[in-house]
Amino acid sequence: MKRAGFSTKWLPILLLLPQLLIIAIFFYWPALHAVTSSFYLQDPFGFGQTFVGLENYTHLTSSVEYLKVAKFTVLFTVLVTFFSLALALLFAVKADKVLRGAKTYRTLLMWVYAVAPPVAGFIGLLMFNQTWGPLSDLFKFFGWDFTLGVNYFDTAFAMIVVSVWKQVPVNFIFFLSGLQSIPRSVREAALLDNRSGTRRFWDITFPLLAPTGFFLLITNITYSLFDTFGVIDTLNKGEPGNNPMTLVYKVFVDGFRGNDLGGSSAQSVILMILVLALTVFQFRLIERRIHYT
């Protein structure tokens, strides 16, 4: 609130109304609905239902398959986050350094941001096509018989590559502007203090990027968990089979393919709790002064 804020009574309410109305109808109601239906087993057409208490949840926790999906999700998240951040940081550091063509590099490295995840997945299908995908061919050349859609590992690999490809640009943009917001004089002070560029990077630049990095860490985790849906759906060609999938994708598969409303809702609720935990964690860490100023 601004110190000299207006004290008009009705106007702010009027201004807030559209937003509140929309989120009430399209956010809170559905979220609540998801919670309630997670306690039922329901005929998809709505003709019958049984209250089953926590059964939908216990069913999940005892499901080997669900745990496997959860494990994959964690692994996927870790790998996608790590590689998108690492590559983006590498590019950002280099782009920040070079004199010539910096703007061209920036453009070339960021345009992929605008590519929709399913389109990225579609591109992945081309690149990893079993018969003639240029990347599959490349792998075959090195003796790796890459079979997207058959081999669990290969499919996971493709999912990760495409997801990383799609995410590097955002991270790149953030890292680059993070680098550029490091006061020039601090870098120069380091230049006087230390001859080695590598050491300067690890001693000064990297720690100063930590706030950006932390913010991106959370963003990337969220991305890996949710926004890769389109990539995974496309690469799975709608038939998951024995291919890897993430938790969100399983919500979709069970709810939308399988019409298991209760089970899918229970999964949604679990995800909600996960995101909530992640957010609390984020706030906690922010409180712990990752920010220096």
Nearer to other proteins, 65 or 142 (CB): 65
165 sits near other proteins (criterion: CB under 8 A)? yes
- How many Cβ atoms from other residues are within 10 Å of residue 36's Cβ? 10
Which listed residue (53, 54, 58, 134) binds other proteins by CB under 8 A?
Answer: 134
- Contact track, other proteins, 83-102, x by CB under 8 A: ----x--xx--xxxxxxxxx
What sign for the dihedral angle of Cα 233, 234, 235, 238? positive
Site string for other proteins, 224-243 (x = CB under 8 A): --xx-xx--xx--xxxxxxx
**Reduced to 3 states, what is the DSSP secondary structure of residue 91?**
helix
149 binds other proteins (CB under 8 A): yes
Say whether residue 220 binds other proteins (CB under 8 A): no
Helix (H, G, I), strand (E, B) or coil at 43: coil
Q: Is 138 in the site for other proteins (CB under 8 A)?
A: no
Residues 180-219, interacting with other proteins (CB under 8 A):
180-181, 183-197, 199, 203-204, 207-208, 210-212, 215
Helix (H, G, I), strand (E, B) or coil at 228: coil
| 167 binds other proteins, rule: CB under 8 A | no
Residues in contact with other proteins, total (CB under 8 A)? 161
Residue 199 to residue 253: CA distance in whole angstroms: 48
Closest to 249 measured CA to CA, from 118, 133, 161: 118
In the complex, the smallest distance separating the C-beta of residue 14 from other proteins, rounded to whole angstroms, is: 8
Of residues 103 through 132, those in contact with other proteins by CB under 8 A are 103, 105-119, 122-123, 125-127, 129-132
Instruction: Closer to other proteins by CB, 159 or 168: give it.
Output: 168
Interacting positions 28-67 with other proteins (CB under 8 A): 29-31, 33-34, 37, 41-50, 52, 59, 63-65
Query: Residue 264's closest CA among 34, 50, 45?
Result: 34
DSSP result, 237-259: TT--TTS---HHHHHHIIIIIS-
CB of 143 to other proteins, least distance (A): 19
Cβ 78 to other proteins shortest distance, Å: 19
What are the DSSP calls for 93-152, one per residue? HHHHH-STTHHHHHHHHHGGGGS-HHHHHHHHHHHT-TTT-HHHHHHHHTT----TTTSH
